[in-house]
A and B are shown apart, each in its own frame.
Chain A
Amino acid sequence: MRGETIKNRFLKLVLLPVIVLFGYMPAFAQSSQFSIEAGANIEAGAKVFRLCMSCHMVGDKAKNRTGPILNDLFGRPAASVKDYKRYSDAMIRAGAGGLVWDLDHINWYIENPKSLVSGTRMIFKGVKDPIDRSNLIEYLRQFSDNPANIVEAEPTILATDPDVHPSILAIVGDPAYGEYLSGECVTCHQIDGEVDGIPSIIGWNEEDFVIALQAYKTEHRTHEVMIMTARRLSDEEIAALATYFKTLGD
């Protein structure tokens, strides 16, 4: 790639960045990271897909049913299947906001759909086992033939487990503190629950609320105003808000 005579300094300037660019050495993988096994099992994946079959189709004869077809899923923006008419407003917003079904986000969504798109219509508790998910994703990949989608071209290490750590979910929120913090929220998210272009957050289940804000904090969701807002909230503050907004729905 470069000339035969490479001086040491040149090595550091050129070769090292090139290594970094081509991604991540599995030897340095942390225990919480997840990777698609090289021998991920398409057959096993087909079995996992039975959980999805009641709503989704793949393959030659696939049609939109309760859920959109999953052919050509990899790399397409959320809510982009033209003939599918039943996307939730939340999914449409997510797609408009930049959500694309890349490997990272497919994995995130299949594990717990509501953690990525709170208002999704896909009522599915998720595939919790990472091996099952890995197999399922391998299975689905067969039906996306766009070379740009083929994951080998990108780093194959997925992001940290999208489930919010149980210790975070266990934090008990102080509703009085939540009420004070809510001042920042209610200019956009109206306190009487009215929706004029911004979703309502009144009365949400606390766990869903925390998962949503944590997803913005880690930038797994892409809305810039929400990322900025969530990034400066501590885990305690998020819990306080969750408790407060839940009480408003009572």
Chain B
Amino acid sequence: MKMNRRGFLGAGIATAATLSAPMGIAASTNPKVVVIGGGAGGATAARYIAKDSKGAIDVILIEPTKTYYTCFFSNLYIGGFRDYASIGHSYGKLASKYGINVVHDWAIGVDKEAKTVSLAGGASIPYDALVISPGIDFVEGAVAGWDLTSQNAMPHAYKAGSQTQLLKAQIEAMPDGGTFAMVAPPNPYRCPPGPYERVSMAASLLKKINPSAKILIVDPKAKFSKQGLFEEAWSKYYDGMIERVGPDFGGDKVEVRPDAMEVVIDGEVEKVDVCNVIPAQKAGKIADLAGVTDGNWAPVSAHDMRSKLDANIYVLGDSSQQGDMPKSGFSANSQAKVCAMAVRASLIGSAAFPAKFSNTCWSLVETDDGIKVGATYEATDEKIAKVDGFVSKTGEDAALRKQNYEDSVGWYAGIASDMFG
């Protein structure tokens, strides 16, 4: 492990073992922030705390993956609009440019009294403030017949990476005229339009390589995000290919049989060739283990993302109860900045301003046809509350839809550098 020439305290990518003899961390008297989770919430929080405190705060980022594949834009990879490498990002710059101690390990416990985080590799890391941004985990037993051992036969691909590659390969290998089924999740879940963008992207791909293939959506929800817009696009581009079974036709009474590749909808057995099961979701496990959840999600104060159950812990992104904000990468990145400002204010007394949040979700339905929905938010004592918003309209002209897509490409480049430097 190299010491950074610029001499940032403890900089460099550490493995858990070497943390037991930390390089320079023990000598630092700076306040310490540990961030669990290196996604849109955690990476952004770590970077902003490190960057804006100008070396006055030591930041340790705990993230198991060495290359982070973003869930956002993973559907575009499925559709053939992005290549896999382009949605992967490394943590090297967070370490070298911002002096963040990036630790590739799992957090397996939090001792709130002692203010330490335990890692799977055995180390115990002290904190003055803890930011938890672990994303989601699946609710056990949410889809009858499916558990994590089934994810090979029936991928969720709802945490990006290998699962996404697997799903795409399965779709590509479908027999002519085969069926791609998706079991959609109940609310609330990460990325409300995500499953439907995925259907659009799969349809776009299948139209080229397997035009007689069919897509079957089994949905426990009566309505979904940007529904009118998606349905307009499906009818325009993929007429006859996509069928959606909602709760009025048994979409909420589903069982899957991974060994037989069957989906049972209210007693009716459907043989399928590919099955994307997206189960009901809850906060990432570590939030539970840390004792900051109440039910499935972690309640937080909208003013600073501080946990309502512990004054030294902040929870960001999908795992938090975020009021009116949807669970999205954009939201997590927005919340992370509010959190970073609050953490710095509480540890080193820097200025804190009233929280402002925003979100925009872009979905690609076909080449150069993007739709969007967005809103701005403020903090109230009760929750993060929506102030204003917009949504694309049906019948918009092609130039605007193309512009939406190009904006989303620009946003992706922007958020990637906002997260990873």
Contacts and interface: CB of A to CB of B under 8 A. Distances in A.
Contact of B410 (A95, A188, A228): A188
Residue picked from B389, B406, B410, most chain A C-beta under 10 Å = B410
Contact of A180 (B341, B403, B413, B418): B341
B189 to A, nearest CB: 22
A227 B372 CA distance: 14
B324 to A, nearest CB: 14
Contacts of A190: 413-414, 417-418
Interface stretch (A57-65, A151-159, A191-199, A202-210): A191-199
Interface stretch (B224-232, B292-300, B303-311, B329-337): B329-337
Interface stretch (B132-140, B259-267, B353-361): B353-361
A196 B409 contact: yes
Interface in A91-105: 93, 95-98
B414 A229 contact: no
Interface string B336-366: 0100010000000001010010101000000
A183 B390 contact: no
A177 interface: yes
Interface string B385-407: 00111100000000110110011
Contact of A196 (B337, B388, B389, B413): B413
B116 interface: no
Interface in A169-195: 176-177, 180-181, 183-184, 186-192, 194-195
B375 interface: yes
B351 A180 contact: yes
A96 B405 CA distance: 12
Contacts of A97: 400, 403
Nearest to A224: B390
Given A176-B351, A180-B341, A225 B407 contact: yes
Interface of B is mostly: helix
Contact of B333 (A187, A197, A198): A187
A50 interface: no
A231 to B, nearest CB: 6
Contact of A198 (B356, B388, B390, B410): B410
Contacts of A198: 407, 410-411, 414
B353 A96 contact: no
Given A184-B358, A225-B372, A229-B376, A194 B399 contact: no
A184 B390 contact: no
Nearest to B333: A187
Contacts of A184: 334, 337, 356, 358
Interface of B: 48, 330, 333-334, 337, 341, 351, 353, 356, 358, 360, 372, 374-376, 387-390, 399-400, 402-403, 406-415, 417-418
Given A188-B411, A228-B389, 6 more contacts: A177-B353, A180-B353, A187-B333, A187-B411, A188-B414, A232-B356
The 8 lowest CB-CB distance pairs between A and B, nearest first, are: A197-B410, A198-B410, A196-B413, A183-B337, A96-B399, A224-B390, A197-B409, A197-B406
